[in-house]
Amino acid sequence: MGISDLIASFLQESLEETDGGVLEVQRNDLAQRFNCVPSQINYVMSTRFSPERGYIVESRRGGNGYIRITRVRVDRQTLLMQVINTLGSQVDLASARAILNNLVQAGALEENAGRSILAAVGDKALAAVPRESRDTVRADIMKQVLILQV
């Protein structure tokens, strides 16, 4: 397990123990606890605690800098619409996989539906599409299929 995984697990567990789903931590304290640089904490925040994953992260830098993580609970339809609206005109396969995994984990998609959509937007399914156009086609397919899920 890498340092990012350890930090994310620690924050997730701490968040689950809080009342109201809000956790406030000192960036420097967290960096010292895991013997890493503060930018590693920033990386974990941006990749593991994003709005797409159901979190709002507020941050203040400086000597007394803190990070406040709020778990946002939204209904299935709102979450799907949020993802559809944030999908750009292109999405690479790794991002598509992460988005679908997050939707399945959040309960917005059944596991079979997530796997089916992933297969439909995978490189094997898009083999006839020129490589430079795949991310655009992938985004279009994902949007249309997710709209049907709403």
pLDDT tens-place values along the chain, 150 residues long: 789 999 999 999 999 898 888 999 998 899 999 999 988 988 898 888 877 677 888 887 766 678 999 987 778 898 899 889 888 899 999 999 988 988 998 889 999 999 999 999 999 999 999 999 999 999 999 999 999 998
Architecture of the domain whose range is 3-71 = 2-Layer Sandwich (3.30)
Pick the CATH number of 76-149 from 2.40.128, 2.120.10, 1.10.10, 1.10.1200: 1.10.1200
Euclidean distance between CA atoms 81 and 85, whole angstroms:
6
Residue with tokens 């430079």: 132
Helices (H), the chain: 3-17, 27-33, 38-48, 76-86, 93-105, 111-121, 134-149
Produce one character per residue of 98-118: b if its CB has 16 or more CB atoms within 10 Å, e if not: bbbebbbebebbeeebbeebb
Q: Where along the chain do the CATH 1.10.1200 domains lie?
A: 76-149
Tell me the one-letter amino acid at 11.
L
Beta carbons within 8 Å of 66's beta carbon, 6+ residues apart = 24, 25, 26, 27, 59, 60
